[in-house]
Amino acid sequence: MPQLQSLRQIHVMPIADWQLYRQHGEQFLRTAQGAFAKDDGRFTAEAIYNICAMAMEKLVMAFLMRRGDLAENHTMADLLRALHRHIQVPATLAEGFVFIDDFQRICDLDTQVRRRPSHDQLARMLATAAALAAFLASDLTD
């Protein structure tokens, strides 16, 4: 029986369009940062939270797709687990994922959680998203 190779020994083909996911992630992040900075009422706290989460999701998916991988689900906890399969995520960044994940859990209709983040909590979320973008930047170049 042939011996299985470790994932590190197998050449993985990138999944097409990972660059588009990176681009969208960066755009979502800029939009969330701009909406937060303007604070003119056109974006609710929930909207900024969701745009920030989409930015993080797109950036993580770009990273994974470039490595021929996908996350099992798209909660912050699942995205963090998927990242851990490939790289060591700094503790402060991982804590940010967990913090963000606690505000909205909508996968199970019976146990849904939705909390409106405060101004300071949104600032922390955006800092986490910016830290993620910086952390993955060198891995997301062509």
pLDDT in tens, 14-66: 899 999 999 999 999 999 999 999 998 899 999 999 999 999 999 999 999 99
Q: Is the pLDDT of residue 88 over 60?
A: yes
Cβ neighbours of residue 130 under 8 Å, at least 6 residues apart?
Answer: 29, 33
- Cβ atoms of 30 and 133 within 8 Å: the answer is no
CA nearest to 125, candidates 48, 63, 27, 21: 48
Model confidence at 7, pLDDT cuts 50, 70, 90, reads very low
Give the per-residue pLDDT at 4: 45
Cβ neighbours of residue 122 under 8 Å, at least 6 residues apart?
Answer: 36, 45, 48, 49, 52
H/E segment holding residue 113: strand 113-114
Domain covering 16-140: architecture: Up-down Bundle (1.20)
- Domain-wise residue ranges, the chain: 16-140
What is the pTM (predicted TM-score) of this model? Answer: 0.86
